[in-house]
């Protein structure tokens, strides 16, 4: 193929792609600068990780680490970028912000960003319990530092706890962007709408799915391949805001490959669910389900 033929082919491809833009598809939306920026969202998540695990993930550009200066700088940067991204997603909530003026959107976004930042001490306290649960529950962990730096389960839980607080503030889209990033990185899929108590431990983790309306209590341990899911999604959008996922009470252990399904399914306190079990009905406290 000579240069002239190559240019003709490229021109033809450009024309055909441009023609496809005129077919009124949803993916043809051109509001390029009115959508959230994935890189900005992930940068905020990275800075929040530095803030939550103080001293573990500080950038090496700092010649001297001073906690107050570092915290002040991070919070200012997070507030700026997070409020900007929230401002871009609020119009997805059409009932409340669809017709809002730019000044109203900016004010609401800043307020929500500040509301979120006020939850950081609580998030940090919860993650300390999750770290303890991982260290106490895994004999292969030599130090807590090893868990912080290398365990995918803790990273997925950290991301979930950040995203859950944003979700609770009725911020569209951004929470899911965060948890799906963690899903890609770790293979662990935790919906930001799920409710998870303290001392939560994910061991190994790959293939775990935790659905939107799942309730998980305290001191729960889950192994790889576990699904806490809906019994059926055949109702489609009609099932939105309907309880579809199970309740896992305190001090439950769920071994690899188990599937627990349905909004009415409750796994009682202190139960152990064996590997590859398929459960669609409640089990009482202290149960041992092995098949």
- Burial zone of 206 (CB within 10 Å; 0-12 exposed, 13-18 middle, 19+ buried): middle
The tokens of 17 are what? 């792609």
223-241: pLDDT as tens digits = 999 999 999 766 666 667 7
Domain 194-291: homologous superfamily in CATH: Hexapeptide repeat proteins (2.160.10.10)
Q: Is this prediction's pTM over 0.85?
A: yes
Helices (H), 118-263: 120-137, 144-150, 152-168, 174-186
Q: Are 119 and 172 in contact (CB under 8 A)?
A: no
Query: In which residue are the tokens 């730096």 written?
Result: 149
- Minimum mean pLDDT among 70-84, 134-148, 165-179, 225-239: which range? 225-239
In angstroms, the CA 176 to CA 159 distance is 10
**φ, ψ of residue 145 in degrees (nearest 5):** -60, -40
In angstroms, the CA 36 to CA 176 distance is 12
175-199: pLDDT as tens digits = 999 999 999 999 999 999 999 999 9
In angstroms, the CA 221 to CA 15 distance is 55
Nearest CA to 166 among 203, 148, 192, 188?
192
- Minimum mean pLDDT among 70-74, 219-223, 237-241: which range? 237-241
Report for 25-29, 68-72, 273-277: range of highest mean pLDDT: 273-277
The tokens of 209 are what? 């799915």
The tokens of 267 are what? 């796994």
In angstroms, the CA 246 to CA 214 distance is 5
Nearest CA to 228 among 239, 217, 215?
215
Q: Where in the chain is the domain with CATH 2.160.10.10?
A: 194-291
Q: Where in the chain is the domain with CATH 1.10.3130.10?
A: 35-187
Considering the domain 35-187, what is its CATH architecture? Orthogonal Bundle (1.10)
pLDDT band at 62 (very low <50, low <70, confident <90, very high): low
Q: In what order do the strands lie in the sheet with 253-254?
A: 201-203, 221-223, 253-254, 272-273, 288-289
C-alpha distance across the termini of the chain, in Å: 63
How many CB atoms within 10 Å of residue 213? Answer: 19
């Amino acid at each position: 193929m000579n240069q002239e033929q190559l240019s003709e082919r490229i021109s033809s491809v450009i024309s055909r792609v441009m023609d496809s833009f005129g077919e009124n598809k949803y993916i043809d939306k051109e509001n390029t600068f009115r959508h959230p920026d994935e890189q900005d969202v992930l940068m905020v998540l990275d800075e929040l990780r530095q803030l939550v695990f103080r001293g573990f993930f500080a950038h090496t550009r700092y010649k001297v680490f001073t906690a107050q200066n570092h915290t002040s700088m991070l919070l200012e940067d997070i507030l700026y970028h997070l409020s900007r991204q929230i401002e871009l997603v609020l119009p997805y909530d059409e009932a409340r912000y669809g017709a809002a003026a730019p000044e109203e959107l900016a004010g609401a976004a800043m307020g929500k960003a500040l509301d979120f930042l006020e939850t950081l001490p609580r998030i940090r306290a919860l993650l300390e319990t999750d770290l303890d649960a991982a260290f106490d529950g895994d004999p292969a962990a030599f130090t807590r530092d090893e868990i912080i730096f290398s365990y995918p389960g803790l990273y997925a839980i950290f991301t979930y706890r950040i995203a859950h607080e944003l979700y609770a503030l009725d911020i569209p889209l951004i929470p899911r962007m965060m948890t799906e990033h963690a899903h890609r990185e770790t293979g662990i899929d935790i919906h930001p709408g799920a409710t998870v108590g303290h001392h939560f431990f994910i061991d190994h983790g790959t293939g775990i799915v935790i659905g939107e309306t799942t309730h998980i209590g305290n001191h729960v341990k889950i192994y790889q391949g576990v699904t806490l899911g809906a019994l059926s999604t055949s109702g489609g959008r009609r099932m939105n805001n309907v309880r579809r996922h199970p309740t896992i009470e305190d001090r439950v252990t769920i071994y690899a490959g188990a599937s627990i399904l349905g909004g009415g399914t409750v796994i009682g306190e202190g139960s152990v669910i064996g590997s590859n079990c398929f459960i669609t009905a409640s089990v009482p406290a202290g149960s041992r389900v092995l098949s």
